């Protein structure tokens, strides 16, 4: 089984109520090979919501609100889905502070990127689940 970012499967769960659907992700879900999750929503954040980025050991919205707790909670809940389904691999949305893999927005809300993983990606990797970045 695979875990995929729900926004890649066409769910309008991004901060701006948009999705980033990719057909091969939708096909994986339709074939019963993947489970979509949105860890930001699972942590209790609303949709729409202010965009957030990682700054040091915190996650802050563009208005300075500390949403670290919601990010950590959502990542833990989405991890449960991965463990329950025996997922060994994930396909997650690039650059997101939650789902980004190897590169994420740098915390300046300027569109600039830096090396690093989103909160959910980091947790999956710690549990031995392979993460693939989908742009
Ligand atoms: Fe998509 Fe992940 Fe952001 Fe949810 S948390 S909108 S699944 S990138």
Coil, helix or strand at residue 37: strand
Total number of residues shown for the chain: 135
Task: Give the pLDDT of residue 98.
Answer: 98
Q: Number of structural domains, the chain?
A: 1
Task: Give the pLDDT of residue 33.
Answer: 98
Coil, helix or strand at residue 55: strand
**From the CA of 130, how far away is ligand 1's center (Å)?**
17
* Residue nearest to ligand 1 atom 6, measured at CA: 14
111, two tokens:
């569109």
Task: Give the pLDDT of residue 17.
Answer: 98
Using the atom order of ligand 1, give the atom closest to the CA of residue 5: 7
pLDDT digits (tens, 9 = 90+) for 66-82: 999 999 999 999 999 99
Whether the model pTM is above 0.95: yes
Q: Of all helices (H) and strands (E), which one includes residue 72? A: helix 68-84
Q: What is the domain extent for residue 124?
A: 2-134
Residues 6+ apart with CB under 8 A from 69: 43
Distance CA 9, CA 22 (A): 6
pLDDT digits (tens, 9 = 90+) for 19-65: 999 999 999 999 999 999 999 999 999 999 999 999 999 999 999 99
């Amino acid at each position: 089984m695979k875990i995929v970012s729900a926004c890649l499967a066409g769910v309008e769960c991004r901060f701006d109520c948009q999705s980033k659907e990719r057909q091969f992700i939708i096909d994986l879900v339709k074939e019963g090979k993947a489970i979509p999750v949105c860890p930001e929503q699972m942590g209790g954040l609303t949709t729409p919501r202010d965009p957030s980025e990682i700054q040091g050991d915190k996650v802050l919205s563009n208005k300075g609100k500390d949403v670290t707790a919601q990010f950590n909670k959502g990542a833990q809940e989405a991890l449960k889905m991965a463990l329950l389904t025996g997922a060994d691999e994930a396909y997650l949305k690039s650059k997101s502070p939650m789902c980004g893999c190897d590169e994420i927005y740098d915390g300046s809300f300027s569109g600039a990127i830096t090396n690093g993983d989103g909160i959910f990606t980091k947790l999956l990797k710690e549990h031995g689940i392979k993460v693939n970045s989908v742009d």
